[in-house]
Amino acid sequence: MATILIIEDEVNIASLLQTCVESEGYCCHVAYDGKTGLAAFRRLEPDLIILDLMLPEMDGLEVCTQIRQSGVRKDPYVMMLTAKGEEIDRIIGYSTGADDYLPKPFSPTELLVRIRALLRRTMRHQETLKIETPHLQIDLERRSVFLKALESDAIAVHLSALEFDVLATLANRPGRVWTRTQLLDHVWGGDFTGDDRIVDSYIKRLRHKLGQGNAESYPFIKTVSGVGYAFEDT
């Protein structure tokens, strides 16, 4: 069963989250501040972290950034809890690497639907093992991505779990145009009820990482005006 870490300073909400998560049989741990949460994350290597945005001292954005930069072997899914829907715009703007956003107040049903949708994704992309394009090597089994360089060794590109899945989905069918809704269905799962602009945020991060910091070159992922996105490697 999956391990879920809850980082939430409000005791009542933490307790509600814990009750929900445990009722589904997940293994659950709770931390009440960012620093303790990060320590628990390193110790437990959870599959999913439910992370409150507003935490004392170190806020959820900072915690999420540190999780993504930690270099641990197992990259967890991060679901960010926000107090108001509007804050989602702000978080997406930060591009910290959260995989989903859940506004408070939330219903236990919605919480569990989203947890299941995220955890189910771990099982995907088993059909083909490798995708090779002129400049990219994507290993679906090891979940690694390398940029082929002309005069040196291939360069590893470090992606979060969902960033990897978005890239693998696009690269598996070069030239195919995906709408945001199709990408959400395929990568996040049909249960996803959040804002489809989350797709734009992932594309932005992927371009940044694949472009080695030079997002202007828009490598590999083309915007198809008025429709969505397509993979292109020429």
Which positions lie near Ca ion, rule CB under 5 A?
9, 52, 54
Closest approach, Cβ 6 to Ca ion, in A, equals 12
Q: Which is nearer to Ca ion, 9 or 196 (CB)?
A: 9
Contact 70, 42 (CB under 8 A): yes
The residue of the chain with the least Cβ separation from Ca ion equals 54
Q: Which is nearer to Ca ion, 14 or 21 (CB)?
A: 14
Q: How far apart are CA 215 and CA 223, in angstroms?
A: 13
Closest approach, Cβ 39 to Ca ion, in A, equals 18
Closest approach, Cβ 84 to Ca ion, in A, equals 12
Closest approach, Cβ 158 to Ca ion, in A, equals 29
Closest approach, Cβ 200 to Ca ion, in A, equals 27
Q: Which is nearer to Ca ion, 9 or 45 (CB)?
A: 9
Q: Which is nearer to Ca ion, 54 or 119 (CB)?
A: 54
Q: Which is nearer to Ca ion, 105 or 226 (CB)?
A: 105
Closest approach, Cβ 165 to Ca ion, in A, equals 29
Q: Which is nearer to Ca ion, 52 or 99 (CB)?
A: 52
